[in-house]
Structure 1
Amino acid sequence: MIRLIVCFAYISGYLLYSTIELRRLKKLNPLLSVAEKDRIIHATPKRWSRTIMKLTGSKVDVIGEENIPEGAVVFISNHEGDFDVPVLLGYLAKPFGFISKMEVKKVPVMRTWMDLLSCVFIDRRDRRQAITSIREGAEILKKGHSMVIFPEGTRSKGGAVGTFKSGSFRLAKDGGVPIVPVSIQGTADVFEKNGRLIRPAGITVTIGNPIMPKIFLVKDLKQVAEEVRQTIIRNMDTPPNKKHQPAG
């Protein structure tokens, strides 16, 4: 219970404190490159996310980060639990935005941060709006920003990896960027499996080999979605590179 209270207090307090940083970031030189601008903006969420994970008492290991290519990519990840986002924000070197459910847009300071990170809000219940959001995300990719997608659409809570919704893969196809499979293991052990309490866990993030955009020339969205899903599942058992990179 104490860890839960401490984490919640830190998250809430830091969000309020970060309004000062938000004002500074909004005034960044517009002539900065996309990569440099993303690096500067991403620094605060990265620091915030790493602290959250340390407060949970968890240890995060990253495997295969050398597999991430230069330039914009779409990270496709399984979705174990609520701590997937802080783990990826805190421990992936490449800055990114992500596809988020529309409800998050109602959270005042969080919404502003997500806009700065080039996130996209999607309402999966509204097909027309969802298509518009995917197109918006593709344009963000074309500008050089990377993104994360959880194509299961909901948390597995540590269970089997669910079916991947193929429509979200149009983001990578229309954006013309590589897909990078990401396997997350252990985040559900922090929260979802503990009766909504927070406990320390060992978390592993495995980054697979990139899949180049040319795959869409020979395979349709459903085929690509299932291929990526199988890669993510396979990498949970046999990482493509067994050299661990401790991330704190």
Structure 2
Amino acid sequence: MRTIASFGYAGLYLLKIFPKMLWLRHQSEPIKYHTTNKLAETLAKNTLKVAGTKVTVLGLEHKEQGENYLYLSNHQGNFDIPILLAYVEKDLSFISKKSLENIPLFGEWMANKRCVFINQDKPREAIKQLQSATKRLHEGTPISLFPEGHRSKGTKMREFGNSGARMSKKSGVKVLPITIKDSYKIMEKQNGKIKPAEVTVIIHPAINPNEYESISSLNQKIEKTIQSGLS
């Protein structure tokens, strides 16, 4: 029942806001961005509520008001994005797969949120797209990236890529490392069904890229910090 209720709510919500999405097509970019962020926060919070997900956030004091960050976290399951939007930062823009851009309404929704679509099948294009994301980050857009690349679907983290560390180093923007613990229990552990679960989100102290000589050493620090929350 949780599965039907959760997907049903999300579907009905998207239908409800469809007229507003059409209206946004004729609005300025800032209005598109801020309006979509509010809609996304509402959808995320209510979907988690319907799913029976209880989220505990630790370390919110490490997220300083008025400071822009690159949000890097582990990636256990499909509910990580709504968890981040509902409990950490509603204005997050995500680094996403290029294929998501072509999904009707959803792709438009993500574009309004200033998400950056990466074509992983074409490395040269991907480099340019990551450069675009780095520029947006430097200009003040809070961006989220999962360095593992794919869901771990469990407690063991996958190997970290260095794209996040590279973006932080080039932009000079601090990394806010985040550990998401037990989000895989909502859906991935249940073979695609949605069950009530308790999730812990740990926000670690920010990492200043200027304190590290290389992208590699910065990336190691980020990975070690996020891993520490799973121990």
- Give me the TM-score of the superposition, normalised by structure 1: 0.85
Report % sequence identity.
Answer: 30
Contact 1:167 1:221 (8 Å CA) reproduced: no
2:175 aligned with 1:179, yes or no? Answer: yes
Where 1:71 maps in the other structure, the secondary structure is coil
The one-letter code matched in structure 2 to 1:78 is N
**Counterpart-to-counterpart distance in 2, 1:38 and 1:68:** 22
Q: Select which of 213, 218, 222 maps to 2:216.
A: 222
Deviation at 1:135, TM superposition (A): 0.6
Contact 2:155 2:182 (8 Å CA) reproduced: no
Superposed CA offset, 1:71-103 (max 9, x none): 321000000001101111111145210101112
CA 1:65/1:131 → structure 2, altered by over 3 Å: closer, same or farther?
same
Where 2:105 maps in the other structure, the secondary structure is helix
Q: Provide the alpha-carbon RMSD of the alignment.
A: 2.0
**Counterpart-to-counterpart distance in 1, 2:171 and 2:123:** 20
- Give me the TM-score of the superposition, normalised by structure 2: 0.91
Q: Select which of 143, 146, 156 maps to 1:147.
A: 143
Unaligned 5+ runs, structure 2: none
2:28 aligned with 1:19, yes or no? Answer: no
Paired residues in the alignment total 230
Where 2:37 maps in the other structure, the secondary structure is helix
Which residue does the alignment assign to 1:50? 45
Contact 2:59 2:203 (8 Å CA) reproduced: yes
Q: Spell out the pairing of 1:83-232 with structure 2 (5 A cutoff).
A: 83-93=79-89, 95-216=91-212, 218=213, 220-232=214-226
Q: Once structures 1 and 2 are overlaid, which stretch shifts more, 94-103 or 196-205?
A: 94-103
CA 1:182/1:102 → structure 2, altered by over 3 Å: closer, same or farther?
same
**Counterpart-to-counterpart distance in 2, 1:214 and 1:94:** 27
Which residue does the alignment assign to 1:240? none
Deviation at 1:41, TM superposition (A): 3.4
**Counterpart-to-counterpart distance in 2, 1:195 and 1:52:** 19
CA 1:39/1:187 → structure 2, altered by over 3 Å: closer, same or farther?
same
4+ residue runs over 4 A deviation: 24-30, 36-40
Unaligned 5+ runs, structure 1: 238-248
Deviation at 1:37, TM superposition (A): 7.8
2:33 aligned with 1:10, yes or no? Answer: no
Q: Once structures 1 and 2 are overlaid, which stretch shifts more, 41-50 or 76-85?
A: 41-50
Contact 1:134 1:168 (8 Å CA) reproduced: no
The one-letter code matched in structure 2 to 1:17 is K
**Counterpart-to-counterpart distance in 1, 2:87 and 2:24:** 21
Deviation at 1:38, TM superposition (A): 5.3
